[in-house]
Amino acid sequence: MSHDTLIDDDLYRQIILDHYSNPRCHCRLENPTLTAEGNNPTCGDEIELDLQVEGGIIKDVGFVGDGCSISVASSSMLAEMIKGKTVNEAVKLAKTFKARLLSHSATASEAEETFEDVDIGELEALDGVKDYPVRIKCALLGWETLLSALNQTPNSAKEG
Ligand code: ZN
């Protein structure tokens, strides 16, 4: 088993570095229906997230972020994974990922609901942060920002 773990660690590091050096959807959207900002003062990570949601589907995603490799890689994975998903699917993914990272440290009341049918995909690469509370905040920054964006009233509804 230790041999497999070494391979996984190396693979995970490569996935994180790849997303950090080449973040997906790294731009602002021209006409986002939802926008949210998040920051993680403990590490200095910042993110601005734009979503274009139509008919309950996340049609487009853009983010600009400044921060450590964990926060940028996690936000890049987020952008890639939620694009084309329904709002409901994106919320389930965010909650499942949160619960996964907080499973060691969170009290029962803080733990998020998990969904058995959710595939966390490349997010598995961030499992290593579980034991480091500060890094957990880095990994969750984009996802917390996503949840706050999806809780807002869409821009179009505010204007109309
Ligand atoms: Zn960070």
- For the segment 70-113, what is each residue's pLDDT rounded down to a tens digit? 999 999 999 999 999 999 999 999 999 999 998 866 555 555 67
Is the Cβ–Cβ distance between 38 and 148 less than 8 Å?
yes
pLDDT on residue 160: 44
Instruction: Give the distance (Å) from ligand 1 centre to CA of residue 139.
Output: 7
- For the segment 32-59, what is each residue's pLDDT rounded down to a tens digit? 999 999 999 999 999 999 999 999 999 9
Instruction: Give the distance (Å) from ligand 1 centre to CA of residue 86.
Output: 28
- For the segment 124-147, what is each residue's pLDDT rounded down to a tens digit? 999 999 888 889 999 999 999 999
Instruction: Give the distance (Å) from ligand 1 centre to CA of residue 138.
Output: 4
C-beta neighbour count of 66 within 10 angstroms = 12
Instruction: Give the distance (Å) from ligand 1 centre to CA of residue 85.
Output: 26
Burial of 69 (0-12, 13-18, 19+ CB in 10 A): middle
**67: closest CA among 12, 131, 142, 157?**
142
Q: What is the DSSP letter of 86?
A: B
Angle 160-47-34 from CA coordinates, rounded to 5°: 15
pLDDT on residue 29: 97
Query: 106 in the Ramachandran plot: left (φ > 0), alpha (ψ -120 to 50) or beta?
Result: beta
- In the block, which residue shows the tokens 């619960």? 99
Strands (E), 3-151: 34-40, 45-54, 57-66
pLDDT on residue 146: 98
pLDDT on residue 2: 45
